Amino acid sequence: LTGTEQSTRVGLFGGSFDPIHLGHVATVRAAQRELGLDRVIYLPTARPPHKPERKFASARSRFAMVEIALLDHEDLQVSPFELTPDRSAYTIDTVRHFQKTQPEVDFVLLIGGDSFAQLDRWKSWNEIVERVRIGVLVRPGWRIEQVSDTMNPELLALAQGGAVDFVEDEPMAVSSTDLRRRFAQDLEIPSDALSPAVLKYVRKYSLYR
Ligand code: ATP
């Protein structure tokens, strides 16, 4: 070892992906460039703890869509670890699991700016931030100070102390909520919103009708 060799860095990116769209790929690509991630693992979650009342396409369908959207991207992968249909999945369990099974890898947790501001509500959030670096995906110009009034002081100190990487990226003008609405109302789907294979899959099974 020369001492300059770097360990493999892998991003973990959880979400509902209901459905996965090209914004979910673009933002991860930006994070990958800025944080030097060799791979990113998408984790479709069966039942997000913070959206308990929402109706979703089935966990299997969302998993399948993530897989087919990422099929041509060798370094973007999908894991079924958070597909726990009978209970909510907790990020701390995911982090522990990946660190245990791949101890040689340096994991980075990718989350949106809004989620980060509420990280102190997550189960064992202190342990999460001890275990992994956090890559926060934010709009250009977004500053932690804009939400500091409502933030946990400990979390704020962490962010201001450099324990967190902020990745600035202009979000694509596409959202899963809007896509579900368009499918339900049989409206046009913008051509740059979805991978063509995902579009076929949604139509094949009338997922959002
Ligand atoms: P919904 O509209 O169903 O609430 P969502 O895209 O906001 O969907 P998730 O599917 O859980 O929610 O997305 C995971 C993460 O992807 C979000 O927390 C956000 O950081 C990021 N993301 C979502 N949409 C975009 C976008 N258009 N551009 C960049 N990043 C995005």
Which residues sit with their C-beta closer than 6 Å to ligand 1? 15-18, 23-24, 27, 112, 115, 137, 171-172, 174-177
**DSSP assignment string, 45-87:** -SS-TT-TT---S-HHHHHHHHHHHHTT-TTEEE--TT--TTS
Question: How far is ligand 1, taken at its centre, from the CA of residue 153, in Å?
Answer: 26
Question: How far is ligand 1, taken at its centre, from the CA of residue 4, in Å?
Answer: 36
Question: How far is ligand 1, taken at its centre, from the CA of residue 9, in Å?
Answer: 22
- pLDDT per residue, tens digit, the chain (209 aa), is 555 567 899 999 999 999 999 999 999 999 999 999 999 999 999 875 566 556 679 999 999 999 999 999 999 999 999 998 777 889 999 999 999 999 999 999 999 988 999 999 999 999 999 999 999 999 998 888 888 888 999 999 998 888 899 999 998 999 999 999 999 999 999 999 999 999 999 999 999 98
Q: What residues have CB less than 8 Å from 89, skipping those under 6 apart? A: 14, 43, 45, 46, 47, 49, 81, 82, 83
Token representation of residue 52: 């308990």
Question: How far is ligand 1, taken at its centre, from the CA of residue 45, in Å?
Answer: 13
* Nearest-atom index, ligand 1, CA of 20: 10
CA dihedral sign, ordered 97, 92, 83, 196? negative
Token representation of residue 13: 């990116």
Which helix (H) or strand (E) segment holds residue 202: the answer is: helix 196-204
Question: How far is ligand 1, taken at its centre, from the CA of residue 169, in Å?
Answer: 13
Q: Nearest C-alpha to atom 19 of ligand 1 is from which residue?
A: 112
Q: What residues have CB less than 8 Å from 50, skipping those under 6 apart? A: 121
* Nearest-atom index, ligand 1, CA of 137: 20
Question: How far is ligand 1, taken at its centre, from the CA of residue 24, in Å?
Answer: 6
Nearest to 130 by CA among 138, 119, 141, 140: 119
| Cα angle, residue 62 at apex, residues 110 and 138 outer, rounded to 5° | 25
**Rounded alpha-carbon distances, angstroms, from residue 77 to 38, 44, 160:** 11, 11, 31
Phi, psi of 82 (to 5 degrees): -95, 10
Tens of pLDDT along 30-84?
999 999 999 999 999 987 556 655 667 999 999 999 999 999 999 999 999 999 8
Residue 23 identity (one-letter amino acid): G
Q: What residues have CB less than 8 Å from 184, skipping those under 6 apart? A: 208, 209
Is residue 63 a contact partner of residue 27, using CB atoms and an 8 Å limit?
Answer: no
What is this structure's pTM? 0.93
Token representation of residue 162: 């450099």
In testing the pocket of ligand 1, which one of 176, 181, 192, 207 has its CB within 8 Å of the most ligand atoms? 176
Q: Nearest C-alpha to atom 14 of ligand 1 is from which residue?
A: 15
> What pLDDT, on a 0 to 100 scale, did the predictor assign at position 176?
96
